[in-house]
């Protein structure tokens, strides 16, 4: 620990030259990105040397990209240039002000919770109201943690994992998404603040849907999240990310990285419901959601399945992908992406077939309303080694109104002629005829539209665990309230 | 319960209904026959309030209320049901969910308690059994992949479930096999009662053997050219519309 303290001092003194606030007790890194910022974050988190080194390598790589102006510009999204020196890269999660009752919570937030049908106790927890003994989320979390520990499952924050399980982290961090992968992955690797870590030992089926809800110690983790899930041979885990509650967050850039590793016969199911602040009606503000998510089916017969429901963020740029390395491995991607107002989403999946008899399936549903713009971008790549690879891709778009847009950009790269690829795509509108048919049966236009949209999303929603599917349905309805096609 | 006076309606620029007069009393069954393109479906759509169908003249009262300003869902909630000639698909939406949303929309508007899944299922199962339909059908998406005949029978099932006061059935027998026509007729008859009425649009006399009409109307070129008892249907089937068409032409030139 002396070494670390030395770092802190180094950072503190050297940082001064750059206008750093020398007080090591401070919880906020000064604005801007420098090597010192990276050292500061690493020191704050009392990280080991290799971790700092790794961050620094990532930082240097990021700077080289930035110098060469190698920002990703291929996505079908428009936004003003981001000033990377005008961002605060680290702010320690501040304990939230405890409120004593729901009366003190912003009524607008409460109305949204209600719309989403979040139970009262859960509303209190989300809004930061002290919860009573009957529903103590801390003890709930503890009970779950003990149950998981009994089975040898590690489920903790990334910071904790770096401290407690350095060998595991060192072995797998960056093994699926190296810091050289892309611009935002490099940035994330340099400055990630926290995230989740999960390790499921050989042959263990995780008995719960793991959600960040049970992992209270990482609440308030920053905009640069890093998540790593490793499923050993024959294990199974289902992980739910995100909270259906709206985030009244004004942070601009959210650049997360998620890595999944599945060994022989292992299965990982990763579900996301994303409802970040999308910006106001004029398109001002909102989150830039630039995320790199990738899984590696390392072992034979392994399976990785991504399900996402993306309704928030001003700009979404993410392509949950699977590298199908093990023979007979399976990769799946199920997505619903909604854009309304001035939201833009460029999302899809990348399936890389390497092993024999590997199979992948992509079901992407894009809903656009208002001035929203939704793009499906996908790549199915079959390597020479991947004999008998199969892919099925279906990307459907639903347009509400005539100011929005939907685009489909599927790429295919096949280097083995035994591959079998199928692609289906169609664009539809909620037709006046369908609405009339529903109205004639007694449904209001709003209910009719919600029903038709739910029907459109059904294949994706049914992949979600039940409670999540219910939330996803409500979330879509709440988001489309007042939007009639 | 339904009074139509001098109803004129257009689709786009074209006038399709050219002065319809029709009175339907509780308990009655009215059959409407007429050649293709004569305006039968248009009449049904206008009564149900389909967007794009513009009433240019005339009045319609339903249960004492002015029907024409009402929104389609309000007409449905007031007890008007339309069985579509060409029922639509709603991909991904299960028939039972669709109908539960419908029935609850109707019940809510009447201040009745909404039916939960269990109560609704019981109601639905009863109707499915009554019509001797396949139980599996209600768990499938609305009309998705249904055969032509299945779609038609599904419309009758929907009517049975929603229990309307006035059922307007647009060719519920077209495309049905002989047995299915009888089943459909049974469903329609079951819905009849002293308080309820039916308007049955058809090309075939056959269904009228089972659902015996009080009045038969012949609609040609947007006008009702003749009304009569159930014998009129037999006459039409035997002779076709030629003579009646001539009568319509005389009517037009004189008036
Ligand atoms: N959207 C439209 N635009 C123009 N003409 C239309 C439109 N809809 C219907 N029509 C015309 O209105 C006329 C009446 O059509 P309608 O569907 O009411 O006939 P129908 O009596 O139900 O015929 P069928 O026995 O074939 O079902 C037809 O000539 C049809 O082409
Ligand atoms: Mg017709």
Contact A131, A137 (CB under 8 A): yes
The pTM for the full model equals 0.79
Which pLDDT belongs to residue B105? 95
Where does the pLDDT of residue A22 fall: very low under 50, low under 70, confident under 90, or very high at 90 and above? very low
Which pLDDT belongs to residue A304? 98
Residue A89 lies in a domain: yes
Ligand 1 atom nearest to B39, measured from its CA: 18
Average model confidence (pLDDT) for chain A?
78
Q: Which residues line ligand 1 (CB under 6 A)?
A: B 11-12, 14, 16, 34, 36-42, 85
Ligand 1 atom nearest to B34, measured from its CA: 21
Under-70 pLDDT residues of chain B: 251, 254-255
Give the tokens for residue B209.
């053997």
Q: Which CA distances in Å does A108 have to A11, A104, A228? A: 42, 12, 35
Which pLDDT belongs to residue A78? 76
Q: What is the mean pLDDT of residues A374-389?
A: 93
Residue ranges with CB less than 5 Å from ion ligand 2: B 40-41, 85
**Side by side, which strands form the sheet with B80-83?**
B80-83, B166-170, B197-201, B29-33, B215-220, B223-228
- Most B CBs within 10 Å: which of A440, A449, A459, A485, as the mutation test of the B interface? A440
Residue A450 lies in a domain: yes
Number of domain units in chain A: 1
Q: Which CA distances in Å does A364 have to A271, A309, A359, A481, B132? A: 14, 10, 17, 23, 39
d(CA A280, CA A209): 33
Which pLDDT belongs to residue A122? 57
Alpha helices by DSSP H, listed for A299-424, are none
Residue A85 lies in a domain: yes
Contact A436, A404 (CB under 8 A): no
Query: Which of A5-9, A78-82, A246-250, A362-366 has the highest average model confidence (pLDDT)?
Result: A362-366
Q: What is the mean pLDDT of residues A292-307?
A: 97
- What whole-number percentage of chain A has pLDDT above 70? 74
pLDDT tens track for A304-342: 999 999 887 777 888 999 999 999 999 999 999 888 877
Number of domain units in chain B: 1
- Looking at chain A from residue 417 to 476, which residues have their Cβ under 8 Å from any Cβ of chain B? 431-434, 436-445, 447, 451-452, 454-459
Among B76, B84, B93, beta carbon nearest to A454: B93
d(CA B98, CA A467): 21
Among B49, B88, B99, beta carbon nearest to A437: B88
B76 contacts in chain A (CB < 8 Å): 439-442
Q: What is the CATH number of the domain that holds B235?
A: 3.40.50.300
- Looking at chain B from residue 35 to 94, which residues have their Cβ under 8 Å from any Cβ of chain A? 48-52, 71-73, 75-77, 81-82, 84, 87-88, 90-93
The shortest C-alpha distance from B94 to chain A (Å) reads 8
Q: What is the mean pLDDT of residues A261-287?
A: 81
Looking at per-residue pLDDT, the higher value among A398 and A262 belongs to A262
pLDDT tens track for A237-272: 998 876 443 444 444 677 889 999 999 999 999 998
Which pLDDT belongs to residue A339? 83
Looking at per-residue pLDDT, the higher value among A369 and A59 belongs to A59
Of the listed ranges A178-182, A248-252, A341-345, A470-474, the one predicted with least confidence: A248-252
Residue A485 lies in a domain: no
Residue A132 lies in a domain: yes
Residue A437 lies in a domain: yes
- What whole-number percentage of chain A has pLDDT above 90? 38
Contact B95, B138 (CB under 8 A): yes
Which pLDDT belongs to residue A210? 81
**Side by side, which strands form the sheet with B2-11?**
B14-24, B2-11, B53-62, B65-66
Residue A484 lies in a domain: no
Of the listed ranges A34-43, A52-61, A98-107, A210-219, the one predicted with least confidence: A210-219
> How far is ligand 1, taken at its centre, from the CA of residue B61, in Å?
24
Strands (E), B79-165: 80-83, 90-94, 141-142
Which pLDDT belongs to residue B21? 95
A334 touches chain B (CB under 8 A): no
Q: ipTM of the assembly?
A: 0.95
Q: What is the mean pLDDT of residues A477-483?
A: 72
Where does the pLDDT of residue A218 fall: very low under 50, low under 70, confident under 90, or very high at 90 and above? very low
Q: What is the mean pLDDT of residues A442-467?
A: 89
- Show the domain range for A167: 2-479
In this model, does residue A439 exceed pLDDT 90? yes
- Most A CBs within 10 Å: which of B105, B110, B160, B167, as the mutation test of the A interface? B105
d(CA A75, CA A69): 16
Crossing angle (nearest 10°) for helices B178-191 and B117-130: 130
Which pLDDT belongs to residue A484? 56
B88 contacts in chain A (CB < 8 Å): 431, 433-434, 437
- Most A CBs within 10 Å: which of B95, B96, B102, B155, as the mutation test of the A interface? B102
- Looking at chain B from residue 93 to 112, which residues have their Cβ under 8 Å from any Cβ of chain A? 93, 97-99, 101-106, 109
- Show the domain range for B32: 2-254
* Yes or no, beta carbons of B50 and A436 under 8 Å apart: yes
Looking at per-residue pLDDT, the higher value among A190 and A475 belongs to A190
Residue A219 lies in a domain: yes
In this model, does residue A276 exceed pLDDT 50? yes
pLDDT tens track for A103-129: 666 665 566 555 545 555 555 555 554
Q: Chain A to chain B, count of Cβ pairs less than 8 Å apart?
A: 78
């Amino acid at each position: 620990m002396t070494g670390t303290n030395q770092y802190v001092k180094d950072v503190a003194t050297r940082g001064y030259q750059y206008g750093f606030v020398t007080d090591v007790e401070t919880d906020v890194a000064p604005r801007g990105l420098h090597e010192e910022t990276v050292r500061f974050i690493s020191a704050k988190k009392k990280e080991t040397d290799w971790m700092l080194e790794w961050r620094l390598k990532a930082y240097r790589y990021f700077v080289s990209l930035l110098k060469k102006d190698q920002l990703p510009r291929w996505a079908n999204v428009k936004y003003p240039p981001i000033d990377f020196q005008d961002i605060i890269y680290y702010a320690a999660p501040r304990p939230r002000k405890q409120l004593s009752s729901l009366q003190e919570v912003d009524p607008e937030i409460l109305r949204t919770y209600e719309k989403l049908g979040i139970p009262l106790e859960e509303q209190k927890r989300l809004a930061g109201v002290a919860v009573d003994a009957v529903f103590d989320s801390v003890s709930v979390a503890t009970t779950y943690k003990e149950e998981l520990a009994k089975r040898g499952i590690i489920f903790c924050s990334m910071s904790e994992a770096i401290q407690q399980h350095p060998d595991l982290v060192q072995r797998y961090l960056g093994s699926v998404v190296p810091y050289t992968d892309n611009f935002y992955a490099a940035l994330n690797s340099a400055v990630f603040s926290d995230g989740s870590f999960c390790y499921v030992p050989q042959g263990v089926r995780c008995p719960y849907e793991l959600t960040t809800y049970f992992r209270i110690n990482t609440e308030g983790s920053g905009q640069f999240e890093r998540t790593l899930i490793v499923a050993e041979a024959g294990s199974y885990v289902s992980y739910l990310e995100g909270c259906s509650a709206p985030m009244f967050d004004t942070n601009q850039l959210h650049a997360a990285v998620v890595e999944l590793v599945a060994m022989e016969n292992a299965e990982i199911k990763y579900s996301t419901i994303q409802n970040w602040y999308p910006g106001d009606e004029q398109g001002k503000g909102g989150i830039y959601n630039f995320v790199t998510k990738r899984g590696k089916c390392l072992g034979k017969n392994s399976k990785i399945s991504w399900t996402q429901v993306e309704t928030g963020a001003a700009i979404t740029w993410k392509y949950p992908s699977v590298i199908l390395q093990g023979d007979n491995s399976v990769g799946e991607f199920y997505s619903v992406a909604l854009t309304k107002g001035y939201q833009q989403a460029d999302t899809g999946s990348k399936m890389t077939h390497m092993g024999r008899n590997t199979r992948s399936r992509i079901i992407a549903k894009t809903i656009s309303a208002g001035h929203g713009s939704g793009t499906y971008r996908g790549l199915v790549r079959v390597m020479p080694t991947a004999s008998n690879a199969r892919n099925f891709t279906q990307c459907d778009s639903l347009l509400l109104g005539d100011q929005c847009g939907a685009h489909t950009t599927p790429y295919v790269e096949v280097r083995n002629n035994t591959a079998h690829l199928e692609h289906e795509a169609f664009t539809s509108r909620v037709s006046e005829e369908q609405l009339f048919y529903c109205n004639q049966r007694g449904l209001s236009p709003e209910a009719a539209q919600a029903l038709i949209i739910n029907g459109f999303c059904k294949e994706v929603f049914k992949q979600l665990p039940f409670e999540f599917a219910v939330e996803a349905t409500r979330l879509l309805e709440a988001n489309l309230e007042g939007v009639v096609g | 319960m339904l009074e139509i006076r001098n109803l004129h309606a257009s689709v786009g620029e074209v006038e399709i209904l050219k002065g319809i007069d029709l009175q339907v009393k509780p308990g009655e069954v009215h059959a409407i026959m007429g050649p293709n393109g004569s305006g039968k479906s248009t009449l049904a759509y206008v009564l149900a309030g389909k967007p794009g169908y513009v009433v240019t003249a005339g009045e319609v009262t339903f249960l004492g209320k002015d029907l024409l300003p009402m929104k389609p869902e309000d007409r449905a909630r007031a007890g008007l049901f339309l069985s579509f000639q060409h029922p639509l698909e709603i991909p991904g939406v299960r028939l039972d969910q669709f109908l539960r949303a419908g029935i609850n929309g109707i019940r809510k508007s009447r201040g009745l308690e909404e039916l939960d899944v269990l109560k609704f299922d019981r109601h639905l199962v009863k109707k499915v059994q009554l019509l001797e339909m396949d139980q599996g059908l209600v768990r499938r998406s609305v009309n998705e992949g249904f055969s032509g005949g299945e779609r038609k029978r599904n419309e009758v099932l929907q009517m049975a479930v929603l229990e309307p006061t006035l059922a307007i059935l647009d060719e519920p027998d077209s495309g049905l096999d002989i047995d299915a026509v009888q089943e459909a007729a049974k469903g329609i008859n079951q819905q009849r009662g002293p308080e309820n009425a039916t308007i049955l649009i058809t090309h075939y006399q056959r269904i009228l053997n089972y659902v015996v009409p009080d009045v038969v109307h012949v609609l040609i070129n947007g006008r009702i050219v003749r009304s009569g008892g159930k014998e009129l249907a037999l006459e039409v089937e035997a002779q076709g519309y030629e003579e009646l068409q001539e009568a319509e032409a005389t009517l037009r030139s004189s008036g």
